Structure 1
Amino acid sequence: MGFPKDRRRLVVAVAALVAVAAIAATVHRVLAPAEVSTVGRGGYPAAARPAPGVIGRLPVAPLIVDARLRVYAAHRQVYADRPVDRKYRTTPYWSYRRWPAQLSGVVASGTTVVSRWSDGRVVALDARDGRVLWRADGPVPAGTGPTARRTGAATVWDPRGFYLANGAGGRTVLVVTGDVQARGWELTDGRELWRAELPGACRTDVGTTASGQLIGVDACAGPAAVEFRDAATGAVRGRWRPPGSPDDLVVTPIGCRTGRSDCPALRTAGPGDAGGRGWLLDAAAPVAAPALDPAGATLAGEQAIAVVDGVVIARSARSGAELWRVDDLGPVRVIAVQPGRVHLLTEANALVTLDPVTGAQRSRFSLNVGSDGTGWAPGAVSAVDGYVAVERLREPVDPDGDDQRYFFTSEAVILAAT
């Protein structure tokens, strides 16, 4: 004896509705926007003091934070491990993940780590435990800039449109820009300081100055000019064109504290690096610094460092007077600077660190780990808190190759203390 026909239809209809509801709930759980914050357990590590030399190799690029942690970027996650001098990457100390947004940039100052996401969301984390400090909605990232490969170096070492700057009273300002808008926040508490509309793709960002200004290149109303905007208020303080510069101006920040933030100088040139000129940025208007004119020249404190015909030469950035030279290293290139250190890479991939004031050698060692050897080409580089991290690329370098062809090994980043 079965159910009456109408009753069977009702049961089938109810079962179908239950199934649809269950599927909808599952889809919502899987696809709905979400964030997962896993805070750190255990004590915040002390600052390490490793001896000069190679520490180890890593599969992803580390952002050294507070000389204690290594912070990494994944597709939808920012996370940290400890201690900073561990040979290999370890289980995350803390982690912050969002879905479905993608991570587009990470910057850090002191014990604050700030992440930027593809939907414009900005999230500040406490580096000591990964706890969320504040969140804000900002401009969606512009579609320009380097594409992040599997190491994530472009995300943590060179995030475009995502900068730190000095504000009044020693405070730090976070500046975030997109194609059509820029905003500034107080780093400590996420208080919005300003917002400004931008003209679009005819204007691009370069970085921030050590004196607290956002540098842009604006070609919207004629020949390209350098725009300086107060990072604490958003007000445009001036526009400047180098004398005799071409209409198509290429501007490169020099000597930045980290990434493209807190840069004390810049270099202007035409297409193909024609007519390059160096400029100091600590006055009301840029001041010519011929010692920074050569391609590859950089600034370490008051010293302009350049390699000329295989000789490392330091000059006063202001007067041009030669301060010291080192001519016994063979073919070298300057790969990074940080306070009190100039880092050079020899033809044999030895890392040489000099004192920028005296030229004295602080350390020298081969950038080799395990049985990897030194038959690689350097890629992106980061130098902070006495550490240097270098991407190792397979020779000959193929910029269009996939990651397996492009990188030297699966653990492509070598980390060293200097």
Structure 2
Amino acid sequence: MGFPRGRRRLVMAVAAVLAIAAVAVIVHRVLAPAEVSTVARADYPAPARPAAGVVGRLPVAPLIADARLRVYAAHRQVYADRPVDGRHRTTPYWSYRRWPAELTGVVASGSTVVSRWSDGQLVALAAPTGRVLWRTDGPEPAASGAVQRRTRATTVWDPRGLQLTDLPDGRTVLVVTGDAQARGVELSGGRELWRVDLPGSCRSDVGTTASGQLIGLDTCTAPATVEFRDAATGAVRERWRPPDAPDELVVTPLGCRTGRSDCLALRTAGPGDAGGRGWLLSAGEPVAAPALDPAGATLVGEQAVVVFDGVAVGRSARTGTELWRSADLGAARVLAAQPGRVHLLTEENDLVTLDPATGAQLSRFSLNVGSDGTGWAPGAVAAEDGYLAVERLRKPVDPNGDDQRYYLTSEAVILAAT
């Protein structure tokens, strides 16, 4: 004996509606926009002071935050681990995840970590806890044709359109740009200071200056022009071209505190030029600095450092006066620099760290860990808070190869204390 036919149909209809509702709830929970914040449950670590040498190897690129944590990027997540000198990546100290937006850039200043997402959202996190400090909308990131490798080095070491700069009054400004718009955001609270429209992809960011300006390269009309925009107001204060420069320009920032932020100088050249012309940045027009003309020259504070025929030479960037020489480096080249340190890499992959003011050798050791060896080529590199991290690429380097062919090992990033 069963249900009458009419009642059976009603029961089946109700069951179908309930099934559809259950599926809708599941789909909503899975696909709806969401964020998951997992805050720290342990004490904030003290800054480490490891001896000079290789610290360890990591599968992804670390951003050193507040000299205490390593911050990493994933597809839809930014997270940190500790200790900063740990030999391997460890369980996250804190983590912040968003869905369905993708993480496009991360920067850090002091104890504040700012993440940028594909929907334009900016989220600031407290490094000691991972708690959200503020959120605000920014311009959507410009489309990038660059290949995103598994270390995500570009996301944390050179995030496109995301820079910091310090104003003369002590405030720090986060400058965020896309194809069509730029905005200035006060780092301390997320307050928007200004927003301006941009002409499009014919204008590109170069970096920010140590005096509180955004440097841009405008190629919308020939000849190419360098613009300096006030990070406090968004107004363009200066449009400049090097004397006798070609119509097309390549502009490279120099002497930056991190990435392309708080830079002290720049080099201008024509497309394909081996060298160029160096310029110190100040409140007015850039000042010629011939000591920075060579393509391999770098700026650390007031000193220009370049290697010629195995000899590192330090000069006053302002006057060109030779200050010191350091010989017996072989086929070394400048790998990176940070305040108080310039890092050179020898042909045997020894890391040599010099004091840029005196040329004194601060440390020298082989960039080798475990049984990996030194038969690799350097890729992306970052230096901050006394640490240096570098990608190790398989020789011969194949820029079009997949990640397994491109990198030396699964833990491709080597981290060293200098």
Q: TM-score scaled to structure 1, two decimals?
A: 0.99
Matched with 1:359 is: 359
Query: Is contact 1:145-1:160 (8 Å) kept?
Result: no
One-letter amino acid of the structure 2 residue matched with residue 121 of structure 1: Q
Q: Does 1:100 align with 2:103?
A: no
Once the 2 structures are TM-superposed, how far is the Cα of residue 274 of structure 1 from its aligned partner? 5.2
Task: Give the counterpart letter for 1:238 in structure 2.
Answer: E
Query: Deviations 1:245-295 (Å, cap 9, x if unpaired)?
Result: 111111110111001100000011111125511110024000111111101
Mapped partners of 1:95, 1:362: distance in 2: 36
Secondary structure class of the residue paired with 1:383:
strand
Match of 1:272 in 2: 272
| Paired AA for residue 379 in structure 1 | G
Residue pair 1:147, 1:154 contacting (<8 A) in 2 also:
no
Deviating beyond 4 angstroms after TM superposition, the runs of 4 or more aligned structure 1 residues are none
Shift of 1:148: 2.6
Query: Which amino acid is the alignment partner of residue 154 of structure 1?
Result: T
Contact kept, 8 Å, 2:275 with 2:294, in 1: the verdict is no
Query: Which one-letter code corresponds to 1:64 in the other structure?
Result: I
State the Cα deviation string for residues 78-128 of structure 1 (Å, max 9, x = none): 000001011111000000000111100000000000000011010000000
CA drift of 1:296 comes to: 1.7
**Shift in Å at residue 145 of structure 1?**
6.7
What CA deviation, in whole Å up to 9, does each residue of 1:336-391 have, x standing for no partner? 11111010000000000000010000000000000100000000111000000010
Partner of 1:11: 11
Mapped to 1, the partners of 2:123 and 2:275 lie a distance apart of 41
CA distance in 2, matches of 1:68, 1:24: 44
Q: d(CA) in 1 for partners of 2:146 and 2:131?
A: 29
CA deviation map 1:162-221 (0-9, x unaligned): 000112421100010000000011101001100000000110111101111000001113
RMSD: 1.0
Report the equivalent of 2:237. 237
* Contact 2:274–2:295 (8 Å) recurs in 1: no
The residue that corresponds to 2:389 in the other structure is 389
Contact 1:376 1:393 in 2 (8 A): yes
Deviations 1:44-90 (A, max 9, x none): 00000100000010001100111100000001100000010111110
The range that moved more, 30-39 or 276-285, is: 276-285
Partner of 1:77: 77
Query: Residue 272 of structure 2 aligns to a residue in which SS?
Result: helix
Distance in 1 of aligned mates of 2:147 and 2:289:
32
Three-state SS of the structure 2 residue aligned to 1:193 is strand
2:292 matches 1:287: no
Tell me, yes or no, if the aligned pair for 2:214 and 2:230 is still in contact at 8 Å: yes
Q: Within 5 A, what are the aligned runs for 1:337-416? A: 337-416=337-416
Q: Which moved more, 1:382-391 or 1:307-316?
A: 307-316
Cα contact 2:183–2:196 (8 A) shared by 1: yes
Partner of 1:311: 311
Query: Matched residues, percent identical?
Result: 78
8 Å contact from structure 2 (residues 168, 211) kept in 1: no
Deviation at 1:7, TM superposition (A): 1.6
Q: Whole-Å Cα distance in 2 between the matches of residues 243 and 219 of structure 1?
A: 17
Aligned partner of 1:53 in structure 2 is 53
Which amino acid in 1 is paired with 2:78?
A: V
Distance (Å, rounded) in 1 between the aligned partners of 2:100 and 2:387? 34
Code of the aligned partner of 2:183 = R
1:118 equivalent to 2:118? Answer yes
Matches of 2:224 and 2:142, distance apart in 1:
19
| Aligned partners of 1:393 and 1:407 also within 8 Å | yes
Give the TM-score taking structure 2 as reference length.
Answer: 0.99
Q: Distance in 1 between matches of 2:7 and 2:154?
A: 63
- Counterpart of 2:186 in structure 1 is 186
